Amino acid sequence: MRDDDREDPFDEFFEEIERMMNDMMGGNAEFRFERASGGGGDAAADRSAVHYDIHETDETVRVVADVPGVEKSDIDLKCDGTTLSLRAGSDGRDYSERVELPARVDEHSADATYNNGVLEVAFDRADDSTSIDI
């Protein structure tokens, strides 16, 4: 018997939590709560979900993401000023996530650290507007 063939003993418990969360949110699609699915051989389903938080101040935007099981050298980050793209992979893990940032950032100010499976990327906020000399 393969691990994928066994029924998860917590499925009923999580389904009930999903139902209660969705009832609490009033069916608002923007706040729909669903558990990430995995397995089945589908390449998209075999990717692990990246759990992340965004912290912002008046001067900075910081993304903290859980990316366990990969080496620092296996992480690829790209930023275009409004979106942070994360790709990481190793033998048993594959991560891919696009994080929409809450404010425009200076992508050249990025400061990233990775320690014990936690990735932190900090950016300076970009100026709202740029002066144009005439």
At residue 121, does pLDDT exceed 60? yes
Residue 105 neighbours by CB distance under 10 Å: 25
- Residues 117, 77: one domain? yes
Is 78 domain-assigned?
yes
How many domains are contained in the chain?
Answer: 2
Give the model's pLDDT for residue 132. 73
Give the C-alpha separation, 63 to 112, whole Å: 9
Give the model's pLDDT for residue 108. 94
Q: Which residues form the domain of 100?
A: 49-134
pLDDT tens digits for 21-35? 777 766 554 444 454
- Residues 30, 70: one domain? no
- Residues 55, 118: one domain? yes
Is 42 domain-assigned?
no
- Residues 84, 121: one domain? yes
Q: What is the pTM of this model?
A: 0.61
Is 44 domain-assigned?
no
Q: In angstroms, how far apart are the furthest CA atoms of the chain? A: 73
The average pLDDT across 91-108 equals 91
- Residues 70, 7: one domain? no
- Residues 22, 54: one domain? no
- Residues 65, 120: one domain? yes
Give the C-alpha separation, 102 to 90, whole Å: 30
